[in-house]
Structure 1
Amino acid sequence: MEAIKFISDGCRILSDLHHQQTETRKKFITPCLDKTFLQVVDQSERDNTLFGNNLSDKIKASKVITMQGQQIKKTSSTPKPSSSHVHTAHTSRNSLQGNWQTLPRSQANKGGRGGYKRNSQRQTPSSQQKMASLSEYRAAKRQ
């Protein structure tokens, strides 16, 4: 009985080693293959050869399926929308774009004082102008 256990363990080790070597050989070969056949090769099971005896038949079938898929894509084309429809959608979208014409959701300063002030000019004030307006605000607040 002991001898059978040793023989069984030896066979398991050999079969595991054979499986690991087979997987390593597959991993060395697959990067060199064409990407279109990679899925076919990955799905094939090993028998007498590394990728199966009928690998050439599977590759031919894959080529035929790819060609038929391309023919189907060429024949079915989506109709283009009319130019008037595109123009109206484009103009209505342009008029609603942006949020600069409405009041902001929160107030400009977090203290709740002041609010949204719209200038006639769209230029940002310089740092000196900001400091001057801040000092004027503080002076008015003290009075």
Structure 2
Amino acid sequence: MVSSKLHSTEWGGVVEAIENCFNLGWTDGLPVVPPTLERVNEFIDYIGEAPDKILGSVPERRREVTIAHAAANGVMAGCLPEYMPVVLTATEAMLSPEFNLIAPSSSQGGAAVLVVVNGPISKNLVSIQKLICSAQESGLMPQ
């Protein structure tokens, strides 16, 4: 299996960091938040688990996925640390053999996997009222 250790990199600024995320293949072309070690550790600290705890593996790529990997991906996706329970649950579900991640991720019809979050945690993660107020303040929605 490929090493699951976090690697640190120095960048000259935010634009260079974003460009390097593209060049390193860390994004599929969508915008990303550079995964600074400080920010990734903030996500790991929030969940209170060992960063090297294995969530599952992708046998076809001979790669194990750890909490540190999930945290780095959460940062790049623009998540907040409070989203980590959902990020970890979704990651574990997608890595389960029953899900067969290689099938949707290698499809010619698109590789996006939809994750629906429901239940009490969904109310804690997204406040519709906050989203509406934010949209009104930015002029995207009439008041």
Q: Do they fold alike, i.e. is TM over 0.5?
A: no
Tell me the TM-score normalized by structure 2. 0.24
Relative contact order, CA 8 A, sep 6+: which one is greater?
2
Tell me the TM-score normalized by structure 1. 0.24
Determine which structure has more spread, i.e. the larger CA radius of gyration: 1
Specify which structure has the higher proportion of helix: 1
Specify which structure has the higher proportion of strand: 2
